Structure formats: structure tokens, C-alpha cells
Amino acid sequence: MTERKNKKIEKLKNIALELRRDILKMIAKAGSGHPGGSLSATDIGTALFFSEMKYDSNDPDWKERDRFILSKGHAAPLLYALLAKAGYFSGSELNKLRGYKSILQGHPASYLVPGVEVSTGSLGQGLSVAAGLALSAKQDKKNFRVFSLLGDGELNEGQIWEAIMFSGHNKLDNLCAIVDRNHLQIDGDTEKVMALEPLEEKWQSFNWNTISINGHDFEEILMAFEKFNQNSDKPFVIIAKTVKGKGVSYMENKAGWHGKAPNREQLEIALKELEN
């Protein structure tokens, strides 16, 4: 790896660490929220916002911006931390998560939060929106790309597979789906709730190009985005193998931390672990 790439990855690691702290602190203060799936996707979100995507936080409606759709809308704390770090709004807003009249509600609302492309929360809808945006870019001859982050439990929704079929049929090679493959959903192990495997082959059968990576390895994440940028004639999916609750020992691989806030003592333990 070149020295320049090493420095870039080190910078991304530091940003991801900062974001994990922000996620935990805002959820703890709110007393509710979804830490597990926010922490599992933090490294992916960091690479997207601080290496891959083009946008202007001073002009959220810039027509040439890449679009990001958080299909798993319950991971809103991750999106809010990313947007604050990117300069869309003040970091002090994070302290108001889920508060009365706060712009940062439990699921992201596009009419409240600058940088949120579409309101999400009802699972299964985000990829359809992303596919529509990608098709419109093709029709209007625009160069922006569309990224959509999906939960693996979300793939139980039939609408996801309609969107996958639609995207493959229309050869939306400007569309990149990312599956946060942490193997856990609110009811437990994804393979026990509704088996997804062989997942990569399923996407391929719908005419998508695919890659499976370690979703916590920045070198692999950046390599996957490079392959997407070389992609043609097919939409592209990154199946990112992750750990639910990544970075906090008592949360890792625990379905019970899907939608549970840490108390003050648990927060202190988590922040110390991240510091170390």
C-alpha cells in the first residue's frame, strides 16, 4: 500500500472512531435509538462520505451531487453523525436526537434535515427510490451516482427484490447497493428468521455485478468502490460482512442491541473501549 493510501485509511479510521462516539452519545442521551446497525455500518458510511461521494454541504440541492439513500432508516444516528461531520448542520444538533421539535427524529425526514434525500424508515422502500433516481440520471444524461445502504434483514421485504429486478433490467450501472451483512435483525439470526444465502448468487441472477468484502476493512471498502467505478452495463452491489455493534464488546453480535440505548454506565464503558 502506498504512503498516500495509508494516510487516507488512517484518516478514515479516525473519522469512524469519532462517529462511533457520536452515535453512542446521542443515543444514550435520547434514551432510545438503534446502536447495533448504526455501528456495523459506520466504516462503510465513513468511506462513502469522506472518500467516495461528491456533494456540497453548503448547497445540499446541488444538481451534480451523488445521492445517498439510507434504506435501513433506523440507522438514522449514523446518517446524522455523517451529515454533521460533513458540515450539513452543527454537531450540537446531535444532542437533540429524538427530542421534541428536533430536526433529528428517530428516522430521517427529508423535509427536516439538510442532506437527507428521502424520508426512510419503512423497510424495503429505499432501493426502489435509489433505482428511480439512477434511471432519471440516465434519462437526463446526468453524471451523478446513487448509493443505497440496505440492512440484511431488510432483504426479507419483497419490494427489495422487485427493485433488484428492475435495476438489472434497466442496466443501472450508476447504482451501487451496499448490504450491511451483519447476520442479525430484530428477531435474531437472519438465517433462522428467513435464510438469505446464497446471497451473492441471488443478486447475480438478477443481472447485478457483485463483490463481497470485509465491511470494516477500509482497504477492501475503497477497492470495492473502485470496482464500482469501473462497472458497466449492470448495477453493482457490495455485500459488506460486518459485526453488529462493532467497536463495543458487549454490543457486538448481540441482536438485543438492535434498538436499545446504553445507560450512563454502559456508555462510559463503550467510550473507554473505543478510546483504547
Q: For residue range 192-227, what is the model confidence (pLDDT) as tens digits?
A: 999 999 999 999 999 999 999 999 999 999 999 999
The Cα–Cα gap between 133 and 125 comes to: 13
Domain containing residue 94: CATH number: 3.40.50.970
pLDDT reading at 250 higher than 70 = yes
Q: Is 59 exposed, middle or buried (0-12, 13-18, 19+ CB in 10 A)?
A: exposed
The H or E element containing residue 179 is strand 175-181
pLDDT reading at 187 higher than 80 = yes
pLDDT at 238: 98
pLDDT at 58: 97
The H or E element containing residue 214 is strand 209-214
* Domain ranges, residue 74: 3-275
Backbone angles phi, psi at 220, to 5 degrees: -70, -40
50-91 tens-digit pLDDT? 999 999 999 999 999 999 999 999 999 999 999 999 999 999
pLDDT reading at 1 higher than 80 = no
Q: Provide, rounded to the nearest whole percent, the portion of the chain with pLDDT above 70.
A: 100
110-143 tens-digit pLDDT? 999 999 999 999 999 999 999 999 999 999 999 9
Query: Average pLDDT over the chain, rounded to whole?
Result: 97
The Cα–Cα gap between 101 and 119 comes to: 17
**Alpha helix (H) ranges present in the chain?**
3-30, 35-40, 42-47, 76-86, 126-139, 158-169, 190-194, 199-205, 218-229, 264-275
pLDDT reading at 38 higher than 80 = yes
pLDDT at 197: 98
The Cα–Cα gap between 82 and 61 comes to: 17
What is the distance, to the nearest Å, from the Cα of residue 202 to the centroid of all Cα atoms in its chain?
A: 21
When pLDDT is averaged across residues 88-100 and rounded to a whole number, the result is: 97
pTM over 0.85: yes
When pLDDT is averaged across residues 179-189 and rounded to a whole number, the result is: 97
Q: Is the dihedral angle over the CA atoms 192, 198, 41, 162 positive or is it negative? A: negative
pLDDT at 2: 87
The Cα–Cα gap between 97 and 101 comes to: 10
Number of domains in the chain: 1
SS3 138: helix
